[in-house]
Amino acid sequence: MRHGFLNLVSPDGFRHLLSSFPALPDREEIPLARACGRVLAADLISPEDLPRRDRSAMDGYAVAARDVFSASESNPAYLECDGHLPVDADPAEPLQPGRTFGIVTGGLLPPGADAVVMVEHTEEVGGGTIAVTRPAAPGGNLIPARRDAKAGEPALPGGTRLRPQEIGLLAALGLETAGVRRRPRAALLSTGDEVVDHTAEPRTGQVRDVNGPALGCMVRRAGGEVLELGRVGDDLEAIASLLSKGAAGADLVLASGGSSAGGRDMTREAVEAAGGRILAHGVTVSPGKPTLLAELGGRPVLGLPGQVTSAQVVMWLFGLPLLAHLEGESEAFDISRRPRLRAELARNLASKQGREDWVRARIEYRDDAPPLARPLLAPSGLLSTMLGAHGLVRIPSGREGYESGAAVDVFLLE
């Protein structure tokens, strides 16, 4: 369905269109040492139970809970200690009634033991006798067998991005490699007669290309790869040719500039000239209203505003989730999963109903009060507010703003 610039799409509607592009089908098996930050291509089926047996969660004494059921400081339970188990011991001797073994954190429990009493709740009274001053319930102070993973069952779902903690689980399962999605590749194009290389000395009316390097940095930081298409002036045929090149050589195309309602902005016409299909042209967000989405050769084309702040906010809001989605990350478009901080607004913040505002904000920490979110208001052509911003404050489309002192979420810029 074709949307004109005056038929704006809501942010959720825009995300729905983005989600219609399938995740990359390519899978690769890579060494565990290089898998951090990558996305699992399929459910990870555990090759074994983890832990294989019950282990102690702390230093103390392995006991049968029934032997210390009524223990207290005034009426201790007395157990005979049969020795102390090393951390790497594999005890085969069953625990007899009324007896105990000393155990350390991580040690395997002997057969017949079903709890551990903390060493702080015991006292050696001589002759190998241990006084227990607290009761223990079955399973108390244990790391139970199969708690982290069960053999033959999914240990992690496909679409999981591997953080250090997931890498730790794979290592604990003895895995040498991980099956992950291929990293997405983004083609970058900057358009406009006024845009020159960032190393050039601009003449009057010209500007250096900020969006190309900045958006490339965002793509790489998100784990993607970059295909540089360079810069092109307001030439319909040249733009169409480069968009086609990008769609053929990458998984998505990011074109900055040329997506507003201005007569010289040609991204929409160039997409259509290249045989593409416009999915949306205009989103009810600020900054970023003229954002464009198209399909060309089965690839998404995201037309970003030329203004540097708008381009970076739109990239954060839609481009980064699209990259994650193409890489197969589950719930990539769920904005509530983005890192955020609760803070108190430092000043009144107005908004227009019917659009969703994303306001740059600086976080100021205070000793005895919640953090302060100080809005940074300036035209979207200035870089200074992005340089000073720690995050973005969202004003929903149904609100006319927030009053000073209101509690707001600051979505942290990555």
CA-to-CA distance for 25 and 16, rounded, in angstroms?
20
Per DSSP, which regions of 287-339 are E strands?
A: 292-296, 299-304
For the domain bounded by 55-143, which CATH number is listed? 2.170.190.11
Tell me the pLDDT tens digit for each residue of 210-237.
Answer: 999 999 999 999 999 999 999 999 899 9
**Residue 306: DSSP 8-state:** S
Q: Over the stretch 261-289, which tens digit does the pLDDT of each residue have?
A: 555 568 999 999 999 999 999 999 999 99
Structural domain boundaries in the chain: 11-25+182-335, 27-50+146-181, 55-143, 338-412
CATH level 3 topology of 11-25+182-335 = Molybdenum Cofactor Biosythetic Enzyme; Chain A (3.40.980)
The predicted model scores a pTM of 0.87
Q: List the CATH code of the domain at 27-50+146-181.
A: 3.90.105.10
Q: What is the pLDDT of residue 2?
A: 43
Quick one: the chain helix, strand, coil %, rounded to 5?
20, 30, 45
What topology is assigned to 338-412 in CATH?
Answer: Beta-clip (2.40.340)
**Residue 177: C-alpha distances to residues 32, 70, 324, 390, 410 (Å):** 5, 50, 21, 36, 37
Q: CA 311 to CA 287: how far, in whole Å?
A: 8
The region of weakest confidence among 137-151, 253-267, 288-302, 385-399 is 253-267
Structure confidence at residue 208 as a pLDDT band (50, 70, 90): confident
Average pLDDT over residues 31-36: 97
* Amino acid 6: pLDDT: 52
